[in-house]
Amino acid sequence: MRKVAVITDSTAYIPKEVREAKHINMVPLNVVFGAESFQEETDLTTDSFYEKVRESKNLPKTSQPSIGIITKKLEELSKEYDDVIIVTLSSGISGTYQSAVSASTLVDDIKVHVFDSEISCMVQGFYVLEAVDMANEGKQVSEILQRLEEMKKSMRAYFMVDDLTNLHRGGRLNSAQALVGSMLQVKPLLHFENTKIVPYEKIRTQKRAIKRLFQLFEEDAETGDKLKATLIHANREEVATALQQELSEKYPNAEISISYFGPVIGTHLGEGAIGLGWYKL
């Protein structure tokens, strides 16, 4: 029987204790404040990141893990495993997927399967958790990859930001310039289409955007199907908890967790962003 390992990048924001308990390997992305560079989830916590952003005059920058770091991890794993699945954030917003593909060509003793989650944060984490649980149960790599593709069919995620400036400046909002200009004053609901971030609907206030987010969730929750969902927040735990309670009371068929936008994604979304992602079990 072939042994399967799982690697994710840090933007899945799977808490350290869960990674350790389940044997999830993680390669960090970087956040750079001026001359200082940090690996998120390793030497920069989410709380200290948001504090640093408030203190800093300039916005930080982000970068993907180096091919070298991924190759080193693969070499380490090749001593114990036959296959490895690398689950990355969306290839349309980061070079991480491409770095993983390049690293995979540099190691011989382990078969590497790179899976583009086409999303990020705990929604990406859902794929990672499913893959590692299956691997820990002794499932083979083809079965795991098939399940991940199956999950993709019902995976949905929408998010909103307090201010579109960071996303726009970082070049991660895939939209015509004029449209972005006209949107800077509103709170559009955003989502991913073909691996890239695009506006889903133009909405004027955060209250209405949340209402719309709930409606979209309800389309799936009202069918009574079992759902796994996550409310993601950028330093707005109280807001996320209140929304989670409201949805959980209304839809007991949905298991809803709370998760966070950590430093790298927080750099592009800014403090105050809220997202909701889910899939059918």
The C-alpha atoms of residue 118 and residue 11 are separated, in whole angstroms, by 12
Dihedral of the CA atoms 268, 87, 192, 170 (nearest 10)?
A: 20
Helices 237-250 and 206-221: angle between axes, nearest 10 degrees: 40
Among 239, 234, 187, 183, CA closest to 208:
187
Residue with smaller CB distance to ligand MYR, 4 or 31 = 31
Residue with smaller CB distance to ligand MYR, 83 or 118 = 118
Q: Is 227 in the site for ligand MYR (CB under 6 A)?
A: no
Q: Which of 39, 88, 96, 104 binds ligand MYR (CB under 6 A)?
A: 96
The C-alpha atoms of residue 280 and residue 226 are separated, in whole angstroms, by 6
Q: Which of 25, 64, 117, 259 binds ligand MYR (CB under 6 A)?
A: 64
* C-alpha distances in Å from residue 275, one per residue of 92, 132, 137, 142, 160: 19, 24, 31, 31, 6
The one segment of 58-66, 140-148, 238-246, 247-255 that binds ligand MYR by CB under 6 A = 58-66
Residue with smaller CB distance to ligand MYR, 81 or 99 = 99
The one segment of 37-45, 47-55, 80-88, 115-123 that binds ligand MYR by CB under 6 A = 115-123
The one segment of 37-45, 104-112, 120-128, 215-223 that binds ligand MYR by CB under 6 A = 120-128
Residues near ligand MYR (CB under 6 A): 29, 62-64, 93-96, 119-121, 123, 157, 159, 172, 232, 264-265, 268-269, 275, 277
